[in-house]
């Protein structure tokens, strides 16, 4: 059995009692210095990675950031879902972006994340269904013809390295 190290935490004040340690930091209350140290470290790493991705996206898309793109799309938001025609009612300004679904997922296609036509205006339920749908299910959605028409406008701008991540329903329409 492995015995946990016990000693003085490097972050606790002088004269504090011995506590269980990981990486020379206490792991239990009242301070939890190890957990606090790790959460700050991971938050810094995450924000650095997000900044690098945003810089890449801006470089690929003439300086347009995803945040600005979302604001532009919110300005175009219609009253009704393009799939089920339910009203798009926002309970707060901050959730308007939830009505904007990327036709091809932004996580896999940095080259067209902010293309003005890489979007559908969907209610929360339809947005969730669209994001989780298989190619066959997408083709059965009422918004499929709109999604395909918009995809056909920007498909030539997709980076060739990203093509393999396309769902089958869009991949089939690449050569047309």
Over residues 65-94, mean pLDDT: 88
On the question of pLDDT at 126 being above 70, the answer is yes
Within this chain, do residues 75 and 109 fall inside the same structural domain, yes or no?
yes
Interatomic CA distance for residues 170 and 152, integer angstroms: 9
Within this chain, do residues 28 and 68 fall inside the same structural domain, yes or no?
no
pLDDT in tens, 142-158: 999 999 999 999 999 99
The predicted pLDDT at position 64 comes to 77
Residue matched to tokens 């047309």: 176
Within this chain, do residues 53 and 66 fall inside the same structural domain, yes or no?
no
Reported as a pLDDT band with limits 50, 70 and 90, residue 102 is very high
Within this chain, do residues 123 and 167 fall inside the same structural domain, yes or no?
yes
Stated pTM of the model: 0.67
The predicted pLDDT at position 34 comes to 74
Within this chain, do residues 41 and 68 fall inside the same structural domain, yes or no?
no
What's the gap between Cα 161 and its chain centre? 20
Within this chain, do residues 89 and 139 fall inside the same structural domain, yes or no?
yes
Its domain, for residue 30, covers: 1-60
Interatomic CA distance for residues 97 and 66, integer angstroms: 11
Within this chain, do residues 15 and 66 fall inside the same structural domain, yes or no?
no
Helix (H) or strand (E) holding 19: strand 19-22
CB 110 within 8 A of CB 159: yes
Within this chain, do residues 79 and 41 fall inside the same structural domain, yes or no?
no
HEC profile for 79-93? CECCCCCCECCCCCH
Within this chain, do residues 68 and 118 fall inside the same structural domain, yes or no?
yes
In a domain, 176, yes or no: no
The predicted pLDDT at position 89 comes to 85
Q: Which of 38-47, 99-108, 166-175 has the lowest mean pLDDT?
A: 38-47
């Amino acid at each position: 059995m492995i015995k946990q190290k016990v000693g003085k935490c490097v972050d606790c004040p002088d004269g504090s009692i011995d506590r269980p340690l990981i990486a020379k930091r206490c792991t239990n209350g009242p301070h939890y210095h190890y957990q606090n140290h790790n959460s700050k470290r991971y938050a810094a790493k995450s924000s650095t990675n997000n900044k690098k991705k945003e810089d890449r996206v801006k470089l690929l898309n003439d300086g347009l950031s995803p945040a600005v793109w979302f604001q532009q799309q919110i300005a175009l938001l219609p009253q009704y879902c393009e799939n089920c025609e339910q009203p798009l009612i926002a309970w707060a300004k901050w959730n308007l972006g939830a009505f904007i679904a990327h036709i091809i997922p932004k996580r896999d296609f940095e080259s067209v994340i902010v293309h003005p036509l890489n979007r559908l205006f969907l209610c929360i339920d339809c947005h969730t269904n669209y994001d989780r749908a298989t190619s066959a299910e997408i083709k059965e959605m009422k918004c499929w013809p709109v999604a395909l028409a918009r995809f056909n406008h920007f498909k030539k701008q997709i980076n060739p390295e990203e093509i393999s991540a396309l769902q089958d329903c869009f991949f089939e329409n690449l050569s047309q």
